[in-house]
A and B are shown apart, each in its own frame.
Chain A
Amino acid sequence: MNEMQLKFLSRSENEVFARNVVAAFALPLNPTLSELSDVKTAVSEAVTNCIVHGYRNAEGWITVRCVIEGEKLHIEISDGGTGIEDLEKALTPFYTTLPEEERSGMGFTIMQTFMTDFSVRSERGKGTTVTMCKDFGARGSDAQ
């Protein structure tokens, strides 16, 4: 088992930092380029949510915790922000609370699709935590 934790401010320039650190941490699992891209995209979506929705562009801390267990990479991304008002709606594809900002409403759908497991818990006024897992041992026949 290996583990790492990353804590950074909710600034958009930290997105590229967060997704590349998680990708680098996953390298011992010998991911394909396509799997790495899935992980980077899912991390980027979760961090974007913390910045745009959790903290509404104010400054706060985002924590990324990763655990490698066997061939699985577990990722937990948390903010201490505003929380999600209606989780069921938030998980609906194309639903966004910020349509005027050209938001696609696809963030959670992409995390769900690109990762093996996904869950989210949120408490209003306390924050949101997204938990995801990529199982590199569960490769389909399309693995490159």
Chain B
Amino acid sequence: MKTQASRRGDSLCIYLSGELDEHSAPTARAEADAIIDENTGCSRAVFNLAGVKFMDSTGIGFLIGRYKKLQKYGMGMYLENPNTDADKILSLSGVYSLIPKI
């Protein structure tokens, strides 16, 4: 699992790549949280999932955890470019009603 970030205007873009499961989630969580903590001046965070090749419900817990953290900073959260498999699990679990896909 790899986590990278860039700024697009006042949006913080976080790029995740690899397989998001029980094994990789703790590192992804620590890395994403460090990036968020350094960029609290942004109005929103966009998680780009294009590089996520596999995701299970641990990934859902990870995304909802980041959503709650961002909420505390008054930042919105959005998802973009999930692959078909990630999209299926995100739709099924109702994540998009909290974290919209753009």
Contacts and interface: CB of A to CB of B under 8 A. Distances in A.
A104 B61 contact: yes
B85 A41 contact: yes
Contacts of A52: 22
Nearest to A40: B54
A76 interface: no
Q: Contact residue range for chain B?
A: 20 to 34
Contact of B57 (A37, A40, A101, A104): A104
A48 interface: yes
Interface string A21-64: 00000000000001001001100110010011000000000000
A15 interface: yes
Interface string B49-87: 000001111101110110000000000000000001100
Contacts of B93: 104, 106, 109-110
Contact of B84 (A15, A34, A104, A106): A34
B22 A12 contact: yes
A45 B60 CA distance: 12
Given A48-B22, A52-B22, A110-B93, 11 more contacts: A12-B21, A13-B23, A16-B21, A41-B56, A51-B22, A101-B61, A103-B58, A104-B57, A104-B58, A106-B93, A109-B93
Interface of B: 19, 21-23, 29, 54-58, 60-62, 64-65, 84-85, 88-89, 92-93
Closest 10 CB pairs of A and B: A12-B23, A102-B65, A104-B60, A102-B61, A37-B85, A106-B57, A104-B61, A44-B56, A12-B22, A104-B57
